[in-house]
Amino acid sequence: MRSSFRSLTVATTFAFAPLVMSAQRGNSPPAPEFVALNLSSPPPSSVQTTTPNSEQSRKQPPPLVNPDTPTVSITRSDAERLALKNNPRITASQLLALAAGQVTRETRSAALPQVTGYLTGEGAEDASRIGAGAGLTSSRLYSHFGAGGTLSQLITDFGHTRFLVATNKLQQQAQNQTTLATQQDVLLATDQAFYRLVDAQSLLDVANATVSARGDVQNLTSALTKSALKSNLDLNIASADLSQSQLLELDAENAVASASAMLAALLASPPETLYKAIEDPDRAAPPPPETSSTAVITAAAEMERPDLKSLKLNAESFRKLAKAQFLQHLPNITAQGTGGITPAGPAGVYVPDWYAAGGVNLTLPAFTGFRITAQTQEARLRAKATEQQARELTDNIARDVRVAILNAQTAFRRIAVADEFRRQTAQALALAQTRYKLGLSSIVELSQAQLQSTQAAVAAVNARYDYLLALRTLDYARGQLTP
């Protein structure tokens, strides 16, 4: 919006530059000669001019938005609430956090008893033997039926499982912080889309008022031209100013439709939904923080930012993982038991018809091909890499906080300057309109006053909503962005 408006401003300034420079040098003709020049100009019929009637006779393109589409009024609070509820990025992050919790349960299961039951039925030629493929198991076959089970319990692995569980818990906490960071990312994007929509709506109001005002001037100039009180040059300039304002109106309409579509995407609404942003009536914008408080705010941000917390938790989890991997060098001691019953079978073979046994098993890795050493070193390197990522993010947070404070202070000061600019240009436009109606000035002076008035109105709109968005951006940099 702003870039297109600046291009229109430059084009108009270049068009009026020769006349303005001539007036500044003191070479502008006096009023009587200016009137004589208008009267001696060719009649309107000999010059091709663009009038509103000829414009209306052309086929108008379809509107950007169907006028029958209902609008949905929404405040910033409503938009943030819907984004937190419906945005798929937040839902996906919450599901990943729940999945991380299940990984912790999976790891902890290694320290709990493992019970397995068996039911076996077999039909065979009694006392026959397996001739191939039996391995080291018994090869003798009997028809029988039996039921039994096994029990296995880890006695100790000297901390390996305990450190793995601690690793998974830290990773789960890191994922929870990532979920919170994702929520803040979506909230900031929602605020940006909302204020973009509010800004576009206000700019559209300015554009509509500009089109109406310049249309009135064009109609007045057309009537004065027909009465030979103004020249065709005045009429052409008035028509050009009207076309310029219509271009601004088209850009504003497109900005409204685009901002509404962006907001609908963040709220997971149908893309054709047309929103009308409404400011929260009970929210007053506070003043920006002082520059002297930057260090305090930065220190608080380093404590509150969820993305930094997530990196620190991940670094700690890799350190725990390195300890867990190193402890694989130590023995693994487990207790095992088995028992069962064989109620059906050949007489005299399964005597007695039940069985039970128990024992303790010690497993010591003698040589694993340097697997344990590599796993330990991998975890340590990942911990160091994550620490460096956290350090980089800390530096970026300090930068973002300082820039956000400066932007908020500048935007706050721009509000007063833009309001004064709008007041001064409104007075200048009123005087220019009066002088033009009395025949004391040319269309150039009126056109320049209209242009400055439009610039001032747009600047005032941008200043207010830029400040509100700057405050939300500062809250995001501090890690305190909440609905």
Q: Which residue has the higher pLDDT, 194 or 450?
A: 194
Encode pLDDT of 96-123 as tens digits: 999 999 999 999 999 999 999 999 888 7
Domain membership flag for residue 17? no
**pLDDT interval class at 45 (50, 70, 90):** very low
Domain membership flag for residue 172? yes
Domain membership flag for residue 470? yes
Encode pLDDT of 132-156 as tens digits: 665 556 666 778 888 999 999 999 9
CA proximity to 202, closest of 104, 279, 125, 145: 279
pLDDT of 32 above 70: no
**pLDDT interval class at 410 (50, 70, 90):** very high
The average pLDDT across 90-96 equals 96
**What pLDDT does 36 receive?**
32
- Per the listing, tokens 């956090």 go with 97
Please, what's the largest Cα pairwise distance for the chain?
138
Taken as a whole, the chain contains a residue count of 483
Range with lowest mean pLDDT among 103-117, 309-323, 432-446, 469-483: 432-446
Q: Which residue has the higher pLDDT, 427 or 36?
A: 427
**What pLDDT does 131 receive?**
64
- Element containing residue 232 per DSSP (H, E): helix 232-266
What pTM was computed for the model?
0.79
- What is the number of structural domains in the chain? 1
Domain membership flag for residue 218? yes
Q: What percentage of the chain reaches a pLDDT higher than 90?
A: 60
Give Cβ neighbours of residue 421 (< 8 Å, ≥ 6 apart). Answer: 455, 456, 459, 460
Instruction: Tell me the C-alpha distance between 257 and 275, whole Å.
Output: 9
Domain membership flag for residue 21? no
Domain membership flag for residue 274? yes
Structure token digits, residue 385: 């890499």
Encode pLDDT of 219-270 as tens digits: 988 998 998 888 888 899 989 989 999 999 999 999 999 999 999 999 999 9
| C-alpha distance across the termini of the chain, in Å | 28
Range with lowest mean pLDDT among 44-48, 253-257, 412-416: 44-48
Domain membership flag for residue 273? yes
Structure token digits, residue 462: 């941008």
Q: What is the DSSP string of 71-96?
A: EEEEEHHHHHHHHHHH-HHHHHHHHH
Q: CB count, 10 Å around CB of 376?
A: 19
**What pLDDT does 472 receive?**
95
Residue 265, domain extent: 2-7+77-110+165-329+368-478
Domain membership flag for residue 284? yes
For residue 237, the domain's CATH number is: 1.20.1600.10
CA–CA distance from 445 to each of 23, 24, 452 (Å)? 11, 13, 11
The average pLDDT across 199-207 equals 90
